[in-house]
Amino acid sequence: MRSWLSAVATAGAAVTLAGVLAPGAALAGAPAPGALPGIPEKLPERSGCVQGSAVVVSQTPWQQVVLAPQRAWPLTRGDVPVAVVDTGVDAGSSWLGGRVEGAGKDCVGHGTFVAGLIAARRGSGGPFAGVAPDARIIDVPATDNTGESSPKRIAAAVTTAVGRGAKVIAVTLAQGRGGDLDRAVKAAAEADVLVVSAVTPADAEHGPVSCVPNVPGALCVGALGPDGRVAEPAEARTDLLAPGVSVVGIGPRGSGNFAGTGSSLSAAFVAGAAALLRAHEPKLTAVQAAARLRATAYRNAVGGAGGLDLYAALTTVGSGSSGQVVVAPPLPTYGPGKARGDGGAVRDALAVAAVFGGLVVAVGVGAVVVPRGNRRSWRPPA
């Protein structure tokens, strides 16, 4: 039954996206193209800090249409500590409502954007909100004022986040790989902390496509676009996929919205989902929570990864001690070839509707024909 209901819900999202993402159309939830300022990952040397945005979106951003976090909020709003290992988080942000623990400074703005995707509450009259609006953010900066970092610096931030009581850690920087970072992530998993990291693309600075070590309790996340197709990158290990293209969020110094793209933002959504799950089922270990998020994802043809399904993760029954989901119903398709926006899920939903329709007709006919037949002892009418 859960898979049928998800197919119907997915069809609704597909219709919405089809209506607003036709070729040449503007992104749902954003004003005219280019009206939202972009959030950078790094700043040029000697540049000033990112200034606040005065633009507030008036429509629901596409990522909220797809993820539908409001379906989860009657169950939980994610009241657990989530560490953000990034450029810092603006503690004065009205969207985060005083729920930032730490230094609370962010010149680049990227860490505040990530924190907003995880935990922002609706503000300034706009519909944007984070996935887990009651999550408490632990600000653990791992860059300088321009956004530059290193695997060793990120490793130290992960260790600090564990020591400060985080239940979930979002590592949303391009981190490369290194012995210190690998050891820090393994130690976090052993301490029952779920580490969510972005799959970072190959470049001259960070080397090949990479993510945190493949250990239980750690997830690598890639980006999906509004059409449900993988945006970046497909070459590395990817455990989950989530929205990461033209995402609407918040920034430092102001109450307006920004836009951003990248797998770092996809990791933020999964970190928010992990917060919801760990708040809803506090007895789940980090290993079990990671397994639940993977097992309840929409199927995707790329490397076995699937698209994040918030509601399914919260409502699927039970996890065994090994972290494997005990009851995992069939899942609707979401991804290349059968993306939410290309009608695959719509066809599934229509098929379900046709079956139900047929049953209703059959029951209705039976309710009329059977009693009449019994009264005539099934003799043909005179």
Cα gap 37→279, rounded to integer Å: 33
Cα gap 270→89, rounded to integer Å: 18
Tell me if 260 sits within 8 A of 239, measured CB to CB: no
Please indicate whether residue 264 is annotated as part of the active site. yes
178 phi and psi, to 5 degrees? -170, 160
Q: Is 15 helix (H, G, I), strand (E, B) or coil?
A: helix
Per-residue pLDDT tens, the chain, 382 aa: give them.
233 233 324 433 333 333 223 222 333 443 443 589 999 999 988 789 999 999 999 999 999 999 999 999 999 999 999 999 999 999 999 999 899 999 889 999 999 999 999 999 987 668 999 999 999 999 999 999 999 998 899 999 999 999 999 999 999 987 666 688 889 999 999 999 999 999 876 554 555 556 777 788 899 999 999 887 887 555 667 899 999 999 999 999 888 999 999 999 999 999 999 999 999 999 999 999 999 999 999 875 445 688 999 999 999 875 444 444 444 443 343 333 333 333 333 333 333 334 334 433 343 434 444 454 455 454 555 4
Buried b (16+ CB within 10 A) or exposed e, 80-105: bbbbbbbbbbbbebebbeebbbbebb
Contact residues for 147 (Cβ-Cβ < 8 A; gap 6+):
40, 41, 42, 43, 87, 108, 110
Contact residues for 243 (Cβ-Cβ < 8 A; gap 6+):
62, 63, 66, 67, 223, 224, 225, 226, 265, 266, 269
Q: Name the residue among 105, 100, 171 with its Cα closest to residue 135.
A: 100
Q: What's the one-letter identity of residue 168? A: V
Compute CA distances 186 → 3, 89, 214, 281, 335, whole Å. Answer: 34, 25, 9, 23, 30
Q: Helices 2-20 & 344-375, crossing angle to 10 degrees? A: 130
78: left (phi over 0), alpha (psi -120 to 50) or beta: left
H-state helical runs in the chain: 2-20, 62-67, 110-119, 151-163, 179-190, 263-280, 286-295, 310-315, 344-375
What does 134-179 look like in DSSP terms, one character per residue? TPEEEE---S-TTS---HHHHHHHHHHHHHTT-SEEEE-S-----H
Q: Give the per-residue pLDDT at 305.
A: 82
Domains contained in the chain, CATH given: 36-337 (3.40.50.200)
Q: Give the per-residue pLDDT at 232.
A: 59
Contact residues for 289 (Cβ-Cβ < 8 A; gap 6+):
194, 274, 277, 278, 281
pTM value > 0.85: no
Tell me if 311 sits within 8 A of 10, measured CB to CB: no
Residue from 6, 149, 264, 319 carrying the catalytic annotation: 264
Q: Give the per-residue pLDDT at 45.
A: 81
Please indicate whether residue 86 is annotated as part of the active site. yes
Cα gap 70→360, rounded to integer Å: 31
Residue from 53, 86, 134, 309 carrying the catalytic annotation: 86
Residue from 53, 90, 106, 110 carrying the catalytic annotation: 110
Please indicate whether residue 322 is annotated as part of the active site. no
Cα gap 245→38, rounded to integer Å: 12
Residues listed for the chain: 382
Residue 158, CB half-sphere, CA atoms under 13 Å: how many?
31
Tokens coding 80: 């657990």
Q: Is 196 helix (H, G, I), strand (E, B) or coil?
A: strand
Tell me if 265 sits within 8 A of 246, measured CB to CB: no
Q: Are strands 247-250 and 257-260 parallel, antiparallel or unpaired?
A: antiparallel
Residue 82 bridge partners (DSSP): 137, 168
Q: Give the per-residue pLDDT at 246.
A: 93
Residue 298 bridge partners (DSSP): 307
